[in-house]
């Protein structure tokens, strides 16, 4: 397993960043889903933390989070997700791809930032993506999270000043949001996506991965022509109840992304 998240982008081709929800449809099922992503060729795994108010997430991921929180005895939140990731990473050993948690600021604050950071490091988790953590509020987290890559988001509405700050403060990679709004499957990609990716790349030396709205192998291949990585979430979560279906779609996506040179 590579230290940090940037190891997913060192293979000389675009990377597939695959998202699944922790605890969905239950704990054992989400562990099977993580294994399926490895078998399916994912370069980096984004593991969602179930949360009651996921502002950036669309209906598929929201529903999965609700099921995870209600289906597991005692609930399922940040601590349980870290434990799940630790078990998975220990099982995979050196064969594990880099893994990032996707969570929100409130669960981090409730658990306590120093405690969260220590738990993440102990689990072997490479980084975190926190959509509602703006760069100007980041120091309170960054001061306790050494050794953990924190990925910030760039959006179509980001000003040049914001892009510069995101590029400067991110570690591992920069997450480029393809469109405004929430996550979810879309029939078409924005026409100006390549231009947006170019703007983000001009603001950082890190790899740039594009997410929000990418759901098919065909779309993933288009995104991979301009981006260093492609993030797919809702389409995978929709199949998370069946590890075989999940593995098959992940393999199709990986083949499409990896085939772009």
* Active-site residue list: 46, 57
* Four-CA torsion 40, 240, 218, 6, nearest 10 degrees: -60
Number of Cβ within a 10 Å radius of residue 225: 12
| CA distance to 43, 217, 254, per residue, from 228 (Å) | 12, 16, 13
| 233 token code pair | 């979430």
| 58 token code pair | 């669309």
Note whether 42 and 16 are within 8 A (CB). yes
Q: Match 């979560």 to its residue by tokens.
A: 237
Note whether 151 and 174 are within 8 A (CB). yes
Note whether 8 and 65 are within 8 A (CB). no
- Please provide residue 127's backbone torsions phi and psi, each rounded to the nearest 5 degrees: -170, 180
Q: Is the peptide bond before 25 cis (omega within 30 degrees of 0)?
A: yes
Nearest to 235 by CA among 183, 175, 185, 182: 185
- Paired with 209 in beta bridges are 175, 229
Q: Would you give the end-to-end CA distance of the chain in angstroms?
A: 24
Q: How far is Cα 176 from Cα 97, in angstroms, rounded to an integer? A: 21
């Amino acid at each position: 397993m590579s230290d940090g998240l940037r190891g997913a982008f060192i293979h000389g081709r675009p990377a597939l960043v695959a998202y699944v929800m922790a605890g969905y449809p239950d704990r054992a099922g989400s562990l099977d889903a993580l294994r399926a992503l490895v078998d399916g060729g994912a370069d980096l795994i984004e593991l969602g933390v179930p949360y009651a108010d996921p502002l950036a997430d669309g209906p598929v991921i929201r529903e999965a989070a609700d099921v995870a929180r209600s289906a597991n005895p005692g609930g399922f939140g940040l601590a349980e997700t870290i434990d799940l990731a630790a078990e998975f990473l220990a099982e995979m050993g050196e064969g594990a791809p880099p893994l990032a948690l996707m969570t929100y600021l409130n669960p981090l604050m409730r658990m306590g930032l120093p405690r969260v950071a220590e738990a993440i490091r102990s689990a072997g988790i490479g980084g975190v993506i926190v959509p509602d953590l703006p760069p100007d509020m980041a120091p309170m987290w960054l001061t306790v999270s050494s050794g953990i890559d924190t990925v910030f988001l760039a959006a179509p509405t980001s000003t040049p000043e914001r892009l510069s700050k995101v590029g400067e403060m991110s570690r591992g990679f920069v997450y480029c949001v393809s469109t405004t709004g929430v996550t979810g499957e879309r029939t078409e990609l924005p026409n100006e996506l390549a231009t947006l990716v170019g703007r983000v790349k001009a603001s950082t030396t890190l790899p740039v991965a594009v997410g929000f709205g990418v759901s098919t192998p065909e779309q993933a291949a288009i995104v991979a022509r301009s981006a260093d990585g492609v993030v797919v979430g809702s389409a995978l979560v929709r199949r998370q109840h069946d590890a075989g279906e999940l593995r098959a779609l992940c393999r199709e996506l990986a083949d499409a992304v990896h085939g772009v040179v």
